Amino acid sequence: MGDLGGISATVSGTLTKRPTIKTMPPTPRRIRGNTRETIQAARKLRQNLTPAESRLWDALKNKQLHGLRFRCQHPLHGFIADFHCPAHRLIVEVDGGIHDEQQDYDAARTERLEVLGYRVLRFGNEEVMGDLEGVLAGILEGVEAP
């Protein structure tokens, strides 16, 4: 009647082996609610930055902006952020022409990310290409804002 590590003793004293139940390995947890598809899409976007994204990334990468670490085309909660500074929960988006057609989606996405505790800054392609110093100053203001 006792359990002997997978072997059961019966009342008559005979030993019977319990069937081993195989369990499936646990499903790997996805970080920050991402799917494999989102992660693959982010990788593709990283390889195909727009000229404005590339210009801003050249100024942000390798902790060039006051030692802040940014990630480029980073998946977060099912979305892909153009640039993400994890230490300050800051997301920087560079909006091109396509964003004129998807303003409702962008607003809902921004609202969802803000609910999750991120601060979202948006800059237009023209701003990045024409006033990179101003964009960088705006990002620093976003980092310092409470």
Question: What integer best gives the mean pLDDT of the chain?
Answer: 82
**How sure is the predictor about 21, in pLDDT bands with cuts at 50, 70 and 90?**
low
pLDDT, position 26: 45
User: CATH code at 91?
Assistant: 3.40.960.10
Range of the domain at 116: 32-144
Residue 5 lies in a domain: no
Write the pLDDT tens digit of every residue in 125-146: 999 999 999 999 999 999 987 7
Give me the number of domains the chain comprises.
1
Residue 9 lies in a domain: no
Asked if residue 57 has pLDDT above 90, the reply is yes
Residue 68 lies in a domain: yes
How does DSSP assign 42-99, residue by residue? HHHHHHT--HHHHHHHHHHGGGTTTT---EEEEEETTEEEEEEEGGGTEEEEEE-THH
Residue 103 lies in a domain: yes
pLDDT, position 15: 58
Asked if residue 8 has pLDDT above 70, the reply is no
The model's pTM: 0.73
